[in-house]
Structure 1
Amino acid sequence: MVQAGIGVTVLSEVSRSLIPPDLALLPLHPQTSRRLVLTGPRARPWHPAVRTLADSALDHLAAAGAMSGAQAG
């Protein structure tokens, strides 16, 4: 929706490399921080697609040096 010109989004700095070059970035000041979590069912394994998303997100954050004590279920 953002690229179509009908939406906006709030992203963390770690996502900067994923933004297409034709989209503008406007840093927000003052900077804020939030802890983000992935959630899923505790009583059964996550769907393989969700597990892949979680693993990919953790890998991306680790590569960006943005993780502190993260753990997935």
Structure 2
Amino acid sequence: MTYTSAIIWNADIADDALWEKLHKHFTVPELVELGFFIALTLGQQRWIKTLGIGHSEVLADTTAGLAPAAVPHAA
């Protein structure tokens, strides 16, 4: 979560201690891929919010990606 916070909010928290912890669990290519995915996902969500698009306003006929509890039931 700290890595995500560093990417999204405050790059200064990506200090040597954080990198040391991350490198215990991930390779450099994995950290690059994870960082890219976090940044891409955040960018997509901000763009969608900028457009004012809500859930089911586009591709309303699909429930892909929604948790089962979030899927509207047919009336």
Q: Same fold (TM over 0.5)?
A: no
- Relative to its length, the structure with more helix (as a share) is 2
Structure 1 length-normalised TM:
0.29
